Amino acid sequence: MDVLQRPEVGRLLADARHAVVGVNRAQGAPQLSVVWFVWDGEAFRFSTTRGRAKYLNLRRDPSISLLIDDFDNKFYVAAYGTARLVEDGHDELARPLLAKYMPERLDDPGWTPDRVIVELRPDRILVGH
């Protein structure tokens, strides 16, 4: 059975939880940051701005890791792959993020024009305990 088909994994990915994203810095330790995410069954997506370190690091090296922890049920989902920066159409692509985390802002999200979507279509997904 595909791990993504397990009901507890589906609930975790649908919940309004944080994901920790890891990207490679030019030098030194990896950069970690917390993001809101959506999973559509094929890709994880989150929003960031062009001025953030994660955007600049991903432009240089698109390798990315993403981790969502379910502390209560003692398991996690980790995804690995190559990020794609989606520079156009942010507001429409970000609507599922608002619906998941801030549905009251759907009519007036207040996005700034420097926002982009980061998309991860994982090469590998692990569920660990």
- For the stretch 70-83, pLDDT in tens is 988 889 999 999 99
CATH label of the domain that carries residue 75? 2.30.110.10
Task: Single out the residue of 128, 34, 117, 6 nearest to residue 79, CA to CA.
Answer: 128
Averaged over 36-42, what is the pLDDT? Answer: 95
Domain span holding position 89: 3-128
Q: What is the predicted pLDDT for the residue at 30?
A: 94
Q: Does the pLDDT of residue 128 top 60, yes or no?
A: yes
CA distance 56 to 69: 26
- What pTM was estimated for this model as a whole? 0.92
Number of domains the chain is built from = 1
